[in-house]
Amino acid sequence: MLLVDYELSPSWNRRQLADWSQATETSLRYDSFLGDIVFRADDADFSARWGWVPVLDFGLSLKNALEHVERDAQVVTIEFTESDAVIRLEPVGHKVKLTASYVPEVATVEYADLVDVTYQFLGRLIEDLIAHQPGLERNPVIVATLEAIRQRR
């Protein structure tokens, strides 16, 4: 079983912008929408339940990492903001080997399955964020991400 999910932390997400449609990519990725990442592949748990992970940044970083894995067929590292923790994605044929610096687990998953789960994660996250942050649906970063998700389907 492959699971990528999130839990937003209420204590970190009280910030309200006057106009979310104008928020910069930096602000959206690193200063907003903090919480926990739930990331499991079979028996391996790569979750980051630290309460302060920039959840949108994680989703976009995972999406971008998978694009690099497909294009370059090389190991890609996702770095967590404000931390030395990393997740490594290593292509192995049509699969991806997952490892992390903060847990001893190793998992190998189908590349296509991880891509599907990642895009589903991003779609759910963005729908949730839009529902709670008026104007976010007009933000160029969000619009571009939603378009990438639609093209993937």
- Residue-wise pLDDT tens digits, 32-51: 899 999 999 999 999 999 99
Whole-number pLDDT of residue 68: 92
For residues 18 and 88, the model is more confident at 88
The neighbour count for residue 85, using CB atoms within 10 Å, is: 17
Cα–Cα nearest to 112, from 146, 72, 44, 66:
66
- Residue 61 banded pLDDT, cuts 50, 70, 90: very high
Give bridge partners of residue 79 from the DSSP assignment: 86
Q: What is the CATH number of domain 2-152?
A: 3.30.2450
Q: Which residues contact residue 40 at a Cβ distance below 8 angstroms, ignoring those fewer than 6 apart?
A: 1, 2, 3, 46, 47
Whole-number pLDDT of residue 14: 63
Whole-number pLDDT of residue 88: 98
Supply the mean pLDDT for the chain: 92
Q: Mean pLDDT, to the nearest integer, of 74-90?
A: 93
Q: What is the DSSP letter of 140?
A: H
With beta carbons less than 8 A apart as the criterion, state whether 59 and 122 touch: yes
Q: Give the side-chain half-sphere CA count within 13 A for 29.
A: 16
Q: What share of the chain in percent tops pLDDT 70?
A: 95
With beta carbons less than 8 A apart as the criterion, state whether 40 and 98 touch: no
| Spacing of C-alpha 54 from chain mean position | 9
With beta carbons less than 8 A apart as the criterion, state whether 126 and 107 touch: no
Distance CA(2)–CA(4), nearest Å, equals: 7
Burial of 150 from C-beta contacts in 10 A (0-12 / 13-18 / 19+)? exposed
Whole-number pLDDT of residue 52: 92
Structure tokens at 65: 């990492």
Domain ranges of the chain: 2-152
Q: Is the pLDDT of residue 11 over 80?
A: no
